[in-house]
Amino acid sequence: MSYELRHGNCFEVLEEFDENSIHAVVTDPPYGVVEFETANIEKMRDGVGGVWRIPPELDGSKRKPLPRFTTLSESDKQKLRNFFETFGTAVERVLRPGGHVFLATTQLLMHEVSNQLDEAGLERRDVLIRETKTLRGGDRPKGSHDHPEYRSVSSMPRVYWEPWLLYRKPFDGRLDENLDEWQTGGLRRESSERPFTDLLEGGKTPKTETEVVRNAHPGDGEKQEAHPNLKPQSLMRELCHASLPLQRGTILDPFMGSGSTIAAAQALGYDAVGIELDETFYQMAENAIPRLAEISTDVERRDDIQSRQTESHSLSEYR
């Protein structure tokens, strides 16, 4: 098992990859695209405005900034469509026939992303529900906390789940034939009794994992913050496990952030490639991946993970 990290724009880096070379894509992209543009990232790091907003305090504790997608303008949405059109086309080219894409998104924008993946020729398979209690939505109308009537109103539901789009590159013929030729097309079962399901049990990212990533920040002192969208190892290992039906192949995360997908693949003994545009996040990933991979979860204790061969199946397969 091995992994390779690339610093750069994934759309440029992916041009170097061979067609039909990647077995699965497991990724948490910029949901609204604008939130990871340089100007907005700088504002987030300085804690001043932009798309990133601090949610209201809860029980007196200060919250971390969250991107607010209700503020996207029509031109922001067009940018998002163009971005996911390019993503869909790039991924469709490098994936093996039958290769799956697991892609995190948000209730407000998932239809826009999904339309672009359809257009790129990928096949929609499901929307996975990851249970997770967020601080999005559920707010009272502005200035109405003490209003006799409006204090009983909230503008939107509080968001308690995260959608993950599941797509697949189409293939000809039967699934068993495709598994034979490309080792892709299906999803690995949780066990012989239980298939992979589309309801993913929840949980926040544990503090220990956030701490690992915070300490991996190349800055010092107050500058050290974990990646704002760090995903839990238990979730990422569940998805990486499902993504390789025969437990062979290379997993790609083109938006790796601080490297949670790559660490998950590493913990399970799978080859992986991660790409990240932002230099600080890239350095965090380099430092954090070996430590995140050492964290123990239930997924790597499964019998089929324990018993599989852990030798590398050659990362050079993708180019």
Ligand X SMILES: C[S@@+](CC[C@H](N)C(=O)[O-])C[C@H]1O[C@@H](n2cnc3c(N)ncnc32)[C@H](O)[C@@H]1O
Judged by beta carbon, residue 90 or residue 244, the one nearer ligand X is 90
Q: How far is CA 290 from CA 155, 177, 310, in A?
A: 42, 36, 16
| Cα-to-chain-centroid distance, residue 219 | 24
Judged by beta carbon, residue 128 or residue 183, the one nearer ligand X is 128
Q: Residue 125 CB, nearest distance to ligand X (Å)? A: 21
Residue, CB closest to ligand X: 257
Q: Residue 106 CB, nearest distance to ligand X (Å)? A: 11
Question: How far is 82 from 88, CA to CA, in rounded Å?
Answer: 10
Judged by beta carbon, residue 26 or residue 305, the one nearer ligand X is 26
Q: Cβ-count burial of 298 within 10 angstroms (0-12 exposed, 13-18 middle, 19+ buried)?
A: exposed
Judged by beta carbon, residue 171 or residue 281, the one nearer ligand X is 281
Q: Residue 79 CB, nearest distance to ligand X (Å)? A: 12
Question: How far is 287 from 308, CA to CA, in rounded Å?
Answer: 27
Q: Residue 58 CB, nearest distance to ligand X (Å)? A: 23
Other C-beta atoms closer than 10 Å to the C-beta of 11 total 15
CB 118, CB 83: distance < 8 Å: no
Judged by beta carbon, residue 30 or residue 98, the one nearer ligand X is 30
The residues that touch ligand X, with contacts defined as CB under 6 A, are 9-11, 28-30, 36, 227, 229-231, 254-255, 257-258, 260, 275-278, 281
Question: How far is 247 from 49, CA to CA, in rounded Å?
Answer: 44
Q: Residue 16 CB, nearest distance to ligand X (Å)? A: 14
